[in-house]
Structure formats: C-alpha cells, structure tokens
Chain A
Amino acid sequence: MTYSELECLRVERRGPVGWLINNRPEQLNAMSARMRDEFAVAWTELDRDPDVRVIVHTGEGRAFQTGVDVAEIAGDGVGMERYRRSVEEFDLHFTSWHQQVWKPVITAVNGLCAGGGFHWIADADMVIAASDAEFFDPHVSIGQVVALEAIGLIRKMPVEAVMRMAFVGRHERLSAERAYELGMISQIVDPPERLREEAQALGEKVARNSPAAMRATKRALWGALEQGLTDACRSGGQELVSMWGHPDQEEGPRAFAEKREPRWRDLTEP
C-alpha cells in the first residue's frame, strides 16, 4: 500500500510494523494545524494497510512531541479559537484512540515529551522511551488547562504523579526511569540511539500474535476504563466469545503442538 505524501509526518512500513514519525524536528515536533489534520490521515492509512500488524509512533530529532505549536497560536491572530468547535464537541482525530485504531500501538518516546505530547502516551497501548527522554506538562505555566491527556493517564497509572506534573507545569521534569517505576512506560532503551531498533523488535514480537485476538483483547482492555469492574467483565466476556469458532483458535494450538509459527488470518479476511 502507498501512503499519502505528508508534510509534517512520515508514514512507512518495515515488515509487519507500520511507522508514524513526527517530522517537524525544528519545531520540536509541535503540532501545527496542518500536522493535526495529517494525523487523522496517517492513523487511518496505517490501520487500513493489511500488511501492517502493529504501529510504532515516534519522533524525529531531539523531541518526541511538545504539544500544540505555540508559535503558530501566538502569531496568526486566530490562536486556540481555531480548535474551539472540535474540542467543545470532542470531535478529535489526532490519536489512535480518537481514530479507533484496534491494531496494537506502541509509542517510542525519543527525547522530550511535553504538554500535548502526553496525548500519545495516554492513548497508546504500549510505551517505551529512550533513557534520555524527559516528560513535563507546561499547560498551566502558559495559562492553559490540562485535561484530556491527564484524564487518560489518571485512569492508567498512579494519580499523584500525574497531578504533580499537571500542577508543577514547566518547572520540573519526570525522567524515563521514574516513568518506568510508575508503570507509565514498560521499557527504557539505553543507549538512546537504539530506540527505533528496540521498538521494531517489540513490534515484531507483537506481530507474531493473532491479529483478531489482539483486536478483541484491545477492545476488552480499553473498555475496562469505561465501566465498573463487573460490567467491564461482562463486556469483555462478549469479546472473548467473539473469537470462538475463528480459524485462529484452531491454528494457534496446532502451531504450538507442531512447534512452528502460526499462520494467522488477516484482519481484512472475512
């Protein structure tokens, strides 16, 4: 599959792993209005590519992502107002969660992640980081509210650490090591230069599993954040049963018994 030519993002595939790379390194990958629109396209195309089983999201340069492009906001006379309708109506399309991507998504944090950059920490399934990565949330230091990203993080990790970042603003940074201790990320890559290699390796491990079973698992686990425990288990049970009778359920144990790699059904096959 060929991907759209984008200005602020790079989209490519390496084996079963689709790559989405923030590509405004001079602006520390801050999100311009154009980049925001391009995210919607990139996620959708990677989700539709049948050869992509896992998606890795990372950044070019010394930052992963640093939120909205403040220079654009300050300089164009329109400011944040251009986003009012989409935020008020919660009609957003720049993360995999917004776009309902049910393939596994790995965020690989290179360098700095600030403010709105947390959207892609909160909305990824797995997060790994280079050992020199740093995290902070400057929203309140520039008179902005932090809500959507932190709300996601609060449901996924210890709350105190998230609150501290929200209120300390730009005056303190969280290290990759602390993020690992807290379970915000599951792997630190050292030396930092090996980040993409390790992300690809993790992606290839994940790509060895049943795409259909992973899709149902992902739905069940994100669904767990929407409901009480009993109701979430009830909904999860539906996902569980949805795989019964699927060819992957016979292929998995057979491949295991025959000591070979399973041949899974593509998600696009009926």
Chain B
Amino acid sequence: MAASNATFLDPHVSLGQVSAYETIGLVRKSPMEPVVRMALVGVHERVDARRACQLGILSQVVDPPERLRQEAQELAEKIARNSPAAMRLTKQALWGALELGLSDARRAGAPAVVSMWGHPDQVEGARAFVEKRDPVWQPLAPAGELESSR
C-alpha cells in the first residue's frame, strides 16, 4: 500500500548502475512492461501511486497521505485475525510458486495444504465460525520445524 503522494522511480541506469534484484522480483509479480520501462528510463520519469495500484504493484492507495500508518495498522490487524500457522504455509506456497513451473509449483504446494490437516487451528477455525466469535489461534511453532520451500 502507498500514500497517495508516493512516487516511484528506479535511477540505477542513470547513474551507471544495473537494476537487477528489485526489478527481477517485480517482473515476476506484476506486469513486466511498466517495470522494464521504469528500469530503462531511470531518473527521467516517475510512476505515481494510482498507476502502481492499477498495475497491481500495490493494492491500496491511502488518501489523505497522513492516514497511511493508520490504514497500515488496520490492514495488519485484519491479517492478524487469521491463523498464523495457515498463513505461514500459505506464504511459503505462494512465494514457492515463483521458483517453479506451474505443475511443479502445485506439486510443491500440495503438501503444505495437507500439513495443516490435524492442526488445532483447523478445529478452532471452524468452531469459532459456527459460534460467531473470533478464533483463538495457536502460537507459531519455531520456523525450523517446518519444511522450507527454498
């Protein structure tokens, strides 16, 4: 998310530097052409928050800009209402999808789906829904106990 007055530019090539890691990530996550344009135009053009949102580089424009932290806190609190364990596995599966072809990424993601089965959050989630209350989730197990997709 970005404040409505946020602007984006990639000056690397205007200073004789290569644009690589950041834009490689963006190329995999959003339409490529506008990213390549930013990388090759350098300091001579900027992308505004509205266009970045339209392109899906970000998902929310906050106006007025002063409300940015408040909106960020609100978004984070929405997310914090979800199962930490399920979100961790979801995050691993989705970032893992950028590492592989489609069939391989799904094959790699399938165990993540199954690995939550039998987790207390799966019982609690359904029960809280029926009882119309917020779920009480389990704290996250140490990360080392989970398989990394990398």
Residue on A with the closest CB to B14?
A: A209
Q: Which residues of A contact B56 (CB under 8 A)?
A: 183
A248 to B15 alpha-carbon distance, docked (Å): 7
A253 to B21 alpha-carbon distance, docked (Å): 21
Number of A-B residue pairs having CB atoms within 8 Å of each other in the complex: 150
Q: Which residues of A contact B66 (CB under 8 A)?
A: none
Give chain A's interface secondary structure class. helix
Task: Say whether B99 contacts A229, CB under 8 Å.
Answer: yes
Residue on B with the closest CB to A126?
A: B37
Q: Which residue, A127, A155, A220, has most C-beta atoms of chain B within 10 A?
A: A220
Task: Say whether A249 contacts B17, CB under 8 Å.
Answer: yes
B122 an interface residue at 8 Å Cβ cutoff? no
Task: Say whether B18 contacts A217, CB under 8 Å.
Answer: yes
A157 to B97 alpha-carbon distance, docked (Å): 16
Q: Which residues of B contact A233 (CB under 8 A)?
A: 20-21, 24-25
Task: Say whether A239 contacts B20, CB under 8 Å.
Answer: yes
Interface residues on B, range: 35 or more
Residue on A with the closest CB to B101?
A: A228
A233 to B30 alpha-carbon distance, docked (Å): 16
Known pairs A183-B55, A252-B15; A126 contacts B33 (CB<8 A): yes
**Those of A13-55 within 8 Å (CB) of chain B:** none
A209 to B45 alpha-carbon distance, docked (Å): 12
CB 8 Å contact bits of A203-228 with B (1 = contact, 0 = none):
00110111011101110110111001
Known pairs A126-B36, A185-B33, A229-B98; A242 contacts B27 (CB<8 A): no
Within the complex, the shortest CB–CB distance from B32 to chain A, in Å, comes to: 4
Residue on B with the closest CB to A250?
A: B16
Q: Which residues of B contact A224 (CB under 8 A)?
A: 23-24, 27-28
B90 an interface residue at 8 Å Cβ cutoff? no
A223 to B34 alpha-carbon distance, docked (Å): 17
Within the complex, the shortest CB–CB distance from A265 to chain B, in Å, comes to: 9
A225 to B32 alpha-carbon distance, docked (Å): 10
Task: Say whether B24 contacts A205, CB under 8 Å.
Answer: no
A236 to B24 alpha-carbon distance, docked (Å): 8
A71 an interface residue at 8 Å Cβ cutoff? no
Choice from B12, B40, B98, B99 contacting A218 with Cβ under 8 Å: B40
A61 an interface residue at 8 Å Cβ cutoff? no
A217 to B41 alpha-carbon distance, docked (Å): 11
**15 A–B contacts from the bound complex (CB under 8 Å):** A157-B32, A186-B33, A205-B44, A209-B14, A217-B12, A217-B39, A221-B19, A221-B27, A224-B23, A224-B24, A229-B24, A230-B150, A232-B28, A236-B21, A262-B16
